[in-house]
Every structure is written in structure tokens, then in C-alpha cells.
Chain A
């Protein structure tokens, strides 16, 4: 490859990085397609999927409850002090519910699950790669994609919308705690405003987001772990640690970019 002289060098580097990123994204897309196909490979996938629902869903439930309550509470506080300036504090319920259902629920759930489960997916699969476990599956004629990746994608698709729904509901209750219990908004008005302002389209939009984020987080995390041995920035344990880091960083970046894209598409 010929590099440009002097002044062109940064441009060339940018071009090389772009090509690498595009190639990587193409590879991830094929990885995802293979994983989705293998979800339905055999009925023996069901117990593996349930096991992963336990790891991704059940184990994240507590942290989602916690984050959901506090997000709702802080939305209640912030929303109250903004709305009270216009004398519209009665709209607090609508403000809290709409921001949670449309935006914060899916996004914060995805980011929390990335931290909890995405990182462990990348690390676990990465360790399996460097200790020959994936090769061992391969030579036992057990497709490692079907055994490791497909159940995680399926379980993410099940868990993300459920966790998002829990986050939304708990967040609305958190907003209730600050808005109604602490700041004295009328209880009936709070829930009435929620019911009158939330549309079915908001809810389906939120679930579409969480499904998209599920695909992104599971694919990116599994991909990073699965190809730990191909990394150029470290081998062995160092490679696993770098894979885990890029799984979390890339998942979050992709989630936020996709969130913007999907929101502008949905609105």
C-alpha cells in the first residue's frame, strides 16, 4: 500500500480507518445474520436461550429497578422545577412518562445491560477463544456460533423489551414519588396526564428501539469476544481485556447513534 507523502498521510490514515470500520461493520452484519439463522437451528437451543435469559435478564432486573426508580425521581424533580415556571406542573406526569417511554427507558436499559451483560459476554467468549474452547466445540462438530452466539442474541431480544418495560413503569413510579409525594402534585392529575398524553405509537416506538438495541449489544459484544484472537492490539488475556473494553464502548456508541437514527425515522 502506498502512503501519501507528508501532508496526505493523515488523510490516508483516515481512509484506512474508514475502510477498516466499514469492513468490520460488514463482518458484524454477517455475524448477526448467521446468529439469527442459528436461533432456529434445533429445539436444543431452547434451554440455552433460557439460561441466557437468566444471565442477561434476571440478573439485570435488580439494577434496572434501581436505575429506573432514580431516573424517574430525578425526572420528577427536574420536570417539576421547569414546568412550575410556566404554571404547568400538572403536566409533570406526561413529561416523565413520555421521556421515559420514548427515550430514556430503551437507551438507559441498553447501556446498563451493556455494562452488566455485554461486557461479560465479550469476556466469557473471549476467554473461551484463547483457551481453545471454541476450537474444541468446533472439532466436536458443535457449531460455536449456534452454541454461544445464537442463544445470546435470542435471549437479548427477549430480555431487552421486558427490562425496558420494567424500567418505564418503575421510572413512572419514581416520578410519582417526587412529584406527588414530595412536591405535592395532585395524584389523579399525574396519572391522568400520563394516560392522556401517551400514545400507542410512543410505546411501540420504545419497544422497537429496545429490540434494535438488543441486536446491537448482543452482536457487538459476542463479535468482539469471538474474534479476540484476531485483534492486533493484544493477544491472550490482554486481548480479552481489550475486547471487553471495545464491546462496551462500541455497543454504547452504536446504541446512541442508532437511537438518533431511529428517533428521526419514527417522528
Chain B
């Protein structure tokens, strides 16, 4: 195959390789190349079993952000979740954040139910109304062994 010179074929190879690396890291790995526009709010939950960093944040089923970090709150043994919201999504200060499951055994995500307050949340604010994860296993065992 003498169609391309050695340099050209190395160039083609590196180009294809870098395109694939780019697709993997930026599109799938969600690497933020430029500082993404948006803001972060926090929410406290008594339990977030199954929620992972990177999980989606939805309003009415529309993705509006991602879970950016999960830590233990410094003052109390509750989960502190950072939500990175897209720019242009406005949250009121009485929004309710709940940990939901897609389907019976699917991934956990955060559902936001907007309220009607006129005050908006900004960078670093905290969502006060939260609903923790429903533990399906304990639900089922309650149902099976009675107690519901």
C-alpha cells in the first residue's frame, strides 16, 4: 500500500485516535473542557442510598443538571449533595428535591419539584425541602412480613 506516505498515515492514525479519545472523554466522560456555565446548590438528605456522582437532576422529566458531589454534612450525619444546575434554570427557594429511582431497579436520580415562592436560589444556596431515597428492599420486606 503505497498510497500514503509514512507521515500521512501516522497523521491519519493519530487524528482518528484523538477523535476517539475526545469522544470518550468529552461526550461520555463529561469532561468539562471550558468552565461550564451554571451554578451549584446544595441539598441535605437523611439517606441517598444508590445515588452516584454524575446522576441526573430532572424537573418534570427534563434533565437540568447533574450531581456534582456527595459528602457527609460537617455538622450532622446526613448526606450533603451538591447539584450543578445548568444556566437558565431557575429554582425557587421552596423547591422540593427527592431521590427517585428510574424503574424498579434502575439508576437513582434527583427529581426537583418547583414551588411557587418568588425568591430564587443562587450559587451556594441550600434546598431545604428534601425527600430521601425510598429503600425498596425494606419496603418489600415490610410488605412480605407484614407491618405496612
A–B contact at 8 Å CB threshold (below): yes
With contacts A197-B107, A198-B29, A203-B29 known, is A169 near B24, CB below 8 A? yes
Q: Is A112 an interface residue (CB 8 A)?
A: no
Number of interface residues of A (CB under 8 A): 31
Q: Quick check: B9 and A198 within 8 Å, CB to CB?
A: no
Residue B134 lies at the interface, judged by CB distance under 8 Å to chain A = no
Task: Point out the residue from B16, B30, B107 that lies within 8 Å of A166, measured CB to CB.
Answer: B16
**A207 CA / B10 CA spacing, docked (Å):** 20
List CB contacts (< 8 Å) of A96-114 with chain B.
Answer: 97, 101
Residue A58 at the chain B interface, CB threshold 8 Å: yes
Q: Digit string of A161-178 for contact with B (CB within 8 Å is 1, else 0)?
A: 111011011100000000
Q: Select from chain B the residue with minimum beta-carbon distance to A59.
A: B9
**CA A197 to CA B5, docked complex, whole Å:** 41
Q: A168-B24, A196-B56 are known contacts. Are A58 and B13 too (CB-CB below 8 A)?
A: yes
Knowing A58-B9, A196-B107 are in contact, say whether A162-B17 is a contact too (CB < 8 A).
Answer: yes
Q: Which of B10, B20, B52, B105 contacts A54 (CB 8 A)?
A: B10
Instruction: Report A-chain residues with C-beta under 8 Å of the C-beta of B52.
Output: 199
Cα distance, A58 to B27, chains bound together (Å): 25
Interface of B is mostly: helix
CB-CB nearest in chain A for B14: A162
Known contacts A195-B28, A196-B107: does B6 contact A51 (CB below 8 Å)? yes
6 A-B pairs besides A54-B10, A58-B9, A202-B29 with CB distance below 8 A are A101-B28, A158-B14, A162-B21, A165-B18, A170-B20, A203-B25
Which of A's residues lie within 8 Å of B, judged by CB?
50-51, 53-54, 57-58, 61, 88, 97, 101, 158-159, 161-163, 165-166, 168-170, 194-200, 202-204, 207
Q: Which residues of B contact A (CB under 8 A)?
A: 6-7, 9-10, 12-14, 16-18, 20-21, 23-25, 27-31, 52-56, 105, 107
List, sorted by A's number, 6 A–B pairs whose CB atoms are closer than 8 Å. A54-B6, A101-B28, A165-B18, A166-B20, A196-B107, A200-B54
